[in-house]
Amino acid sequence: MWDWHTAREGLPLILHGFGITLLATALGSLVAIVLGLVIAVLGRAPTRWVRLPLRAVVEFVRSTPVMIQLFAVWVLAPGLDPLTIGIVVLGLHYAMYTSEVYRAGIDAVPRGQWEAAVALSLPPIRTWWGVVLPQAVRKVIPALGNYVISMFKETPFLSVITVNEMVHEANQFGSDNFAYMEAFTIAAAIFLIASYPTSMLMRKLEKRLAH
């Protein structure tokens, strides 16, 4: 049976874990968004000695479960803080996906824009930062937002490397108080309250940018 007193006792602990979840999501998203852009730009390098190894890394990371990546780094780098490992691994994992999003955005820039930059004798850096990327990034903002939401929902995987994120705290409270129903219901409600409005915002933003 549901016990409101137990639920109130567990709420502060679960909210503390939610703070860790938000921190991991925010910093991991920053890594993914910045690194993904770097990978997408390097993926168009003129030499295959850059493109081919980069492509191999992207495919390897995308083909490996994030839980396995977390556990492998945690085992191979035991001296690092588990939260730091979680942020870096989540960021790197999702950077491979955001790089593909950026690549699609770059490919969607009309060829005439590239030709105009060449005709104006713009240097490569200015062509990228002044012409190509502003158009490409604008097209992919909704997709990037969706990956941020996906990362938020995958933060419970951090519990496998002992990070005290929200689901870990809920599980611990449920185990200590024989109150799994209250603990996991609260955690699920917080996930829903945090992610659903963001999903709606991304949909509205996608419609706005489509016009």
Q: What span, in angstroms and rounded, lies between the C-alpha atoms of 81 and 125?
A: 37
The pLDDT tens digits for 7-51 are 999 999 999 999 999 999 999 999 999 999 999 999 888 888 888
Mean pLDDT rounded to a whole number for the chain? 90
Q: 132: which residues sit within 8 A by CB, 6+ positions away?
A: 106, 109, 113, 114, 117
- Does 196 score more than 90 pLDDT? no
Q: How many domains does the chain have?
A: 1
State yes or no: pLDDT of 211 exceeds 80.
Answer: no
pLDDT at 210: 61
Closest CA to 87 of 159, 155, 171: 155
pLDDT greater than 90 at residue 129? no
Tell me the residue range of the domain where 180 lies: 4-210
How large is the average pLDDT for residues 191-206? 83
Q: Averaged over 135-164, what is the pLDDT? A: 91
Here the CATH number for the domain that contains residue 98 is 1.10.3720.10
Position 209 pLDDT exceeds 80? no
* pLDDT > 70 in the chain, percent: 99
Lowest-confidence segment of 21-30, 183-192, 197-206 by average pLDDT? 197-206
Which among 143, 119, 144 is positioned nearest to 131, based on CA atoms? 119
Average pLDDT over residues 158-174: 94
| Cα–Cα separations (whole angstroms), residue 129 to 12, 70, 137, 164 | 45, 34, 11, 40
Statement: residue 1 has pLDDT above 80: no
- Where is 175: in which H helix or E strand? helix 166-177
How many CB atoms neighbour CB 104 within 10 A?
14
